[in-house]
Structure 1
Amino acid sequence: MVSEGGDKTGSYGKIAKTESVSIVSAAISCDAEFLQYMSSLKWEGYVHSIFDRTVNLHSRTNDEFYTIANRQVDNAPNTLITDRDGFANQGLAVGDRVYVEHDRLYVGKAFVLTLRDVRVWRSKLPSYPDDEGNLRSNAAAAASFIEIYGKGSGIKRTSERANAMDQEMGRLLTERSNGLLRALSMGEASLASHYAIQLMGLGPGLTPSGDDFLVGLFAVINLADGPLQPFRPMCEQVAAASADRSNPISGMALKKAAAGQVRESIGDFMHHMIHGSKTEVIRSLSRVLDIGSTSGTDIALGLVKGLKLSLDKKWEV
Structure 2
Amino acid sequence: MIKTDQICVIDALKIGDEVEDILEKSDSRLRVHSIFEHAINLINDSDWIITLLPEGYPAGPQAVILTQENFARFKSLGLGAADTFDFNKLIGTKKSQIIYRRSGDKPVPEDIIKAESNNTYFESLLSQKGNKNGLLGKDNMYSRYAAPILSEFQTLFLEQRFDEAGEKLLGLIGLGPGLTPSGDDFVLGVFAAIYSFGMNKDIISSLKNIMAQKAKNKTNIISYNMLRQGAMGGFIEWAEDMADAVIYGDPQQIEAAFSRMLKIGSSSGSDISAGILFGITNILALLKQKTTESH
TM-score (norm 1): 0.80
Provide the residue aligned with 1:292 in structure 2: 265
Aligned residues: 285
Q: Is the 8 A contact 1:200 1:211 kept in 2?
A: yes
- The separation in 2 between residues aligned to 1:55 and 1:38, in whole angstroms, is 16
- Aligned-pair CA distance for 1:298: 0.8
* The 10-residue stretch of structure 1 (77-86 or 252-261) with the greater mean CA deviation from structure 2: 77-86
Which residue of the other structure, out of 92, 97, 109, is the alignment partner of 1:114? Answer: 92
CA spacing shift, 1:229–1:292, aligned 2, 3 Å: farther
1:124 aligns with 2:102: yes
Q: Give the aligned CA root-mean-square deviation in angstroms.
A: 2.6
Letter in 1 for 2:117: S
Letter in 1 for 2:33: H
1:95 aligns with 2:79: no
- Aligned-pair CA distance for 1:82: 0.7
- The separation in 2 between residues aligned to 1:41 and 1:89, in whole angstroms, is 22
Provide the residue aligned with 2:230 in structure 1: 257
Q: Which has the higher helix share?
A: 2
CA spacing shift, 1:149–1:291, aligned 2, 3 Å: same
- The separation in 1 between residues aligned to 2:190 and 2:98, in whole angstroms, is 26
Letter in 2 for 1:95: A
1:136 aligns with 2:116: yes
Provide the residue aligned with 1:110 in structure 2: none
Q: Is the 8 A contact 1:221 1:228 kept in 2?
A: no
1:82 aligns with 2:62: no
Q: Is the 8 A contact 1:135 1:273 kept in 2?
A: yes
Q: Is the 8 A contact 1:28 1:119 kept in 2?
A: yes
Q: What secondary structure does 2:175 align onto?
A: coil
Letter in 1 for 2:112: E
Question: Structure 1, residues 50-106: CA drift from partner, whole Å, max 9, x if none?
Answer: 11110111113x5411111112311111110111366697422001113234xx4x3
Structure 2, gaps ≥5 residues long: none
Q: What secondary structure does 2:13 align onto?
A: strand
1:147 aligns with 2:127: yes
Structure 1, gaps ≥5 residues long: 1-5, 8-14, 107-112, 160-166
Q: Is the 8 A contact 1:193 1:238 kept in 2?
A: yes
- Aligned-pair CA distance for 1:184: 1.5
Provide the residue aligned with 2:154 in structure 1: 181
* The 10-residue stretch of structure 1 (219-228 or 142-151) with the greater mean CA deviation from structure 2: 219-228
Q: Is the 8 A contact 1:220 1:228 kept in 2?
A: no
- The separation in 2 between residues aligned to 1:63 and 1:198, in whole angstroms, is 23
Letter in 2 for 1:98: F
Q: Is the 8 A contact 2:196 2:244 kept in 1?
A: no
Provide the residue aligned with 1:66 in structure 2: 50
Letter in 2 for 1:148: Q
Q: Is the 8 A contact 1:183 1:189 kept in 2?
A: yes
CA spacing shift, 1:175–1:157, aligned 2, 3 Å: farther
- The separation in 2 between residues aligned to 1:230 and 1:36, in whole angstroms, is 26
Q: What secondary structure does 1:299 align onto?
A: helix
Which structure has the larger Rg over C-alpha atoms? Answer: 1
Q: Which residues in structure 2 correspond to 1:1-317 (within 5 Å)?
A: 6=1, 20-21=6-7, 25-35=10-20, 37-38=22-23, 42-60=27-45, 62-84=46-68, 90=76, 91-101=78-88, 104=89, 106=90, 113-125=91-103, 126-158=106-138, 167-223=140-196, 225-226=198-199, 230-313=203-286, 316=290, 317=293
- Aligned-pair CA distance for 1:309: 1.1
- Aligned-pair CA distance for 1:245: 0.5
* The 10-residue stretch of structure 1 (255-264 or 183-192) with the greater mean CA deviation from structure 2: 183-192
CA spacing shift, 1:138–1:228, aligned 2, 3 Å: farther
